[in-house]
Chain A
C-alpha cells in the first residue's frame, strides 16, 4: 500500500469514528440500544474472523466463550454480600479489573480447549467445539450459585476513575444539552473498545504471528517445514479468538444489564459464523459489516413491524419479525456462498482496488483454498 492510500484509509476511519461518536447527540434510545448490541457483536465477530479466516479453523463454540466473558464479568464484579439474600454471589472486584479478569477467563477456557483446538483442524474443530456450547448451557443452567440458573444474573454497571456508566453517579450529566444516561455513556465505552479491537486485529494480521497463521492455513506442511509450530499457533489463534469472545461477552452483559443462559446457546454461535461469512472471512471490515447486518436486522424488523405489511404479531402464526430476519439471513448466507464466496467485503474490495493483502491470502472460509484461486489473487 502506498503512503497516500494508507493516509487516506486512516483519515476515512477517523472520520467514521467521529461520525459514530456524534450519534448519541442526535438519535434516541432505541438506536443507541441497537448500536450497543451491534458493537458487542462486532468485537465477537472480529475474534471469530481471525480464527476462521486467518487460521483456517472453524468454531461453533464461540457462544461458550462469550458466555464465559459475560458471566465472568458479572461474577467478578458482583456484590459479595448478595449470596446471603439468595442472589448469585460475586467477588466484588472493581468493574475495570473484573472486565480484564473476564477476558482472561475466556482466554483461559480457550487454552484449556487447546489439546483439541491445536490438533483437530478446520470443520472437524467446528463439530468438536459444538460440544462446548451444550456443555456451557448445562453449566449455566445448573451452577446457579454463580450464574443464577435460568433466571440469570444482573451485571454490575461499569465504572472507570469514579465515573459510572449508568444513569446515576454523576447524576444529571449532560453534554451539549443532551442528558447522558447509561446508553449514551456506554456508547462511548463500546466505541472505544471496538476501535481498539479493530486496531489490534489489523496489526495481528500483518504481524509475524498473523503471517504464520496464514501459512498454517494455506499449507500445514509448508508451515511446519518453515519452522512454524503448527499446534501451538492453532492453539494461539483459538485463545485469541476466545479472548475477543470474552470481551464481547462483557460488552453484552453491560448492554443487556441482565444476562440469561438462553442468550448464549447454539443460535449465538451460528449468528457469529453467519456474520463473518457474509462479510468475508478473514476481513476485519467484513466482520464489522456482517455483525451490523446480523445483529441489527431482527431489532430493526421488530421495531418497524407495524409499518411492514408482511409481518404478523408474534404468536399469531404469521411471519413474525424474528422469523423473517432468520429467513433473510439464512437466505443471505446461501446467496453469499453461491455468488460471492469471498463474502461481501471482498466483493467490494475487488471493485475498489486490487486486494493489497493478497500476501496473507484469499481463502474463502477455511484451510485449503483451491490453488487456482490462490494464483488469481497473487496476480491481482
Chain B
C-alpha cells in the first residue's frame, strides 16, 4: 500500500510536468487551430540552450535564456510559417509543423550526438522525505512550480485582457477580429507561451531521475500528446487532468512491471498511448473536449 501511494504521488508529480507541456498544446490549438507536432523539439531546443549555457552563466540565468529562446523559436515558427497558412486546412498545418519538427530535431540531434548534457539544477539528485514517502526533490519542486504556473495561467485566462482576447479568438475568430482583437498578436502570444511553458516543464523532465539532456527528450515529451488528446484538444482543464492521469498511469505501470511482466518490458512508455486509445473508443472527442456539431 505504501509503495502504491508513493508511486501515485510520484506519478502526480510527473503528471504535472506533462500537464504543462499539454497546456502549451491546448493554448496553441485554441488560439491558432494548429496541432503542433514541433512542440517536443521546441522543448528540446529550450533545454539544449540551458544545458549549453548553464556551466558558464549559472543555472538560473541559463534557464531564463533557454525559456525565452524556446518561446522566441515558437514565435518565429508562428509568424514566419503558420501565419501564411492561417485558417487553412488543419491537416496541412499539422504536417507543416511536422516539417519544422523534422528539421529542428535533426539539427539538435546532430549537435547533441551521443552526449548527455547535465541540466545543472541546484536540486541535483536529492531525495526528500514527505510524510514518510521518499520522492526526488526535483519532482516535488516540479509539482509546486507546475501548480503555480497552472493557477497563474487559469487566472490570466479568466481575467486578463489577453485571456479574454484568446477565448474570444478561440470562440469565433472572425467576430473577435471585427471587434478589434488582434488575432495575430493573440496567436503569437500563444505560441510564445507554449514554447516557454514547454521549456519550464523540460527542465524538470531532464532533471533527476532522468539522466540529462539527450536526443530522446523530444520523444519523451511526446507523452504529452496522449495527455492532451485525453483531455480533449481545446480544454485547459482537460490538459491538466489528462497530464496527471498519464503521469500516474505511466509511473504505476513502470513501478509494477515485475507484477505485470507478462505484458512485456518498457510498459511505462506505451501505457499512456493505450489509455488514450481506450478513452477515444468511449469518447472520440476526449474527456473534456468540445464536441463538434454540424449545422445544416
With a cutoff of 8 Å between Cβ atoms, the chain B residues found around residue A128 in the complex are 229, 276-277, 280
Given contacts A52-B91, A115-B281, contact A334 B270 (CB under 8 A): no
Cβ contact within 8 Å between B81 and A130? no
Which of A119, A138, A320, A333 lies in contact with B102, CB distance below 8 A? A333
Assess whether B267 is interfacial by the CB under 8 Å rule.
Answer: yes
Assess whether A326 is interfacial by the CB under 8 Å rule.
Answer: yes
One of A171-179, A239-247, A364-372 at the interface: A364-372
Assess whether B132 is interfacial by the CB under 8 Å rule.
Answer: no
Cβ contact within 8 Å between B91 and A123? yes
Assess whether B116 is interfacial by the CB under 8 Å rule.
Answer: no
Q: Of B102, B110, B264, B277, which is in contact with the most chain A CB atoms at under 10 Å from its CB?
A: B102
Binary contact readout A292-306 vs B (1 if CB under 8 angstroms, 0 otherwise): 000000000000000
Assess whether A116 is interfacial by the CB under 8 Å rule.
Answer: yes
Assess whether B85 is interfacial by the CB under 8 Å rule.
Answer: yes
Task: Tell me the bound Cα distance from A323 to B81 in angstroms.
Answer: 22
Residue of B nearest to A115 (CB): B281
With a cutoff of 8 Å between Cβ atoms, the chain A residues found around residue B95 in the complex are 273-274, 277, 333, 337, 365
Assess whether A143 is interfacial by the CB under 8 Å rule.
Answer: yes
Interface residues of A, dominant DSSP: helix
Cβ contact within 8 Å between A331 and B99? yes
Cβ contact within 8 Å between A330 and B274? no
Task: Tell me the bound Cα distance from A42 to B245 in angstroms.
Answer: 40
Which of B98, B110, B281 lies in contact with A333, CB distance below 8 A? B98
With a cutoff of 8 Å between Cβ atoms, the chain A residues found around residue B100 in the complex are 330, 334
Cβ contact within 8 Å between B264 and A123? no
Cβ contact within 8 Å between A58 and B92? no
Cβ contact within 8 Å between A326 and B102? yes
Cβ contact within 8 Å between A270 and B102? yes
Give, as a whole number of angstroms, the nearest-CB distance from B259 to chain A. Answer: 16
Assess whether A209 is interfacial by the CB under 8 Å rule.
Answer: no
Given contacts A120-B284, A319-B110, contact A270 B98 (CB under 8 A): yes
Given contacts A329-B102, A330-B103, contact A141 B284 (CB under 8 A): no
Task: Tell me the bound Cα distance from A134 to B270 in angstroms.
Answer: 6
Assess whether A221 is interfacial by the CB under 8 Å rule.
Answer: yes
Cβ contact within 8 Å between B276 and A131? yes
Assess whether B90 is interfacial by the CB under 8 Å rule.
Answer: yes
List B251-296 residues whose CB lies under 8 Å from chain A: 263-267, 269-270, 273-274, 276-277, 280-281, 284-285, 294, 296
**Knowing that A142-B263, A330-B102, A365-B92 are A-B contacts, what are 13 other residue pairs whose CB atoms are under 8 Å apart, sorted by A's residue number?**
A58-B94, A115-B281, A128-B280, A130-B273, A135-B277, A329-B102, A330-B101, A332-B99, A333-B95, A334-B99, A337-B85, A365-B89, A369-B89
Task: Tell me the bound Cα distance from A270 to B107 in angstroms.
Answer: 17
Assess whether B217 is interfacial by the CB under 8 Å rule.
Answer: no
Cβ contact within 8 Å between A122 and B270? no
Cβ contact within 8 Å between A123 and B280? no
Which of B91, B109, B225, B280 lies in contact with A116, CB distance below 8 A? B280
Give, as a whole number of angstroms, the nearest-CB distance from A68 to chain B. Answer: 16
List B88-125 residues whose CB lies under 8 Å from chain A: 88-92, 94-96, 98-103, 106-107, 109-110, 113
Cβ contact within 8 Å between B284 and A116? yes
Chain B: interface residue total (CB-CB under 8 A): 44
Task: Tell me the bound Cα distance from A175 to B102 in angstroms.
Answer: 44
Give, as a whole number of angstroms, the nearest-CB distance from B46 to chain A. Answer: 19
Given contacts A116-B281, A221-B294, contact A134 B273 (CB under 8 A): yes
Assess whether A137 is interfacial by the CB under 8 Å rule.
Answer: yes
The list of the 10 closest CB pairs from A to B, nearest first, reads: A142-B264, A366-B91, A330-B102, A131-B273, A333-B99, A330-B103, A365-B91, A138-B270, A334-B99, A326-B106
Give, as a whole number of angstroms, the nearest-CB distance from A52 to chain B. Answer: 7
Cβ contact within 8 Å between B270 and A137? yes
With a cutoff of 8 Å between Cβ atoms, the chain A residues found around residue B296 in the complex are 221, 225
With a cutoff of 8 Å between Cβ atoms, the chain B residues found around residue A274 in the complex are 95, 98-99, 102
Cβ contact within 8 Å between A330 and B106? yes
Cβ contact within 8 Å between B85 and A334? no
Cβ contact within 8 Å between A366 and B284? no
Cβ contact within 8 Å between B81 and A334? yes
Given contacts A142-B264, A142-B265, A330-B103, contact A323 B284 (CB under 8 A): no
5 pairs, CB–CB < 8 Å, chain A vs chain B = A119-B284, A139-B264, A326-B103, A338-B96, A366-B91
Binary contact readout A84-120 vs B (1 if CB under 8 angstroms, 0 otherwise): 0000000000000000000000000000000110011
Assess whether B27 is interfacial by the CB under 8 Å rule.
Answer: no
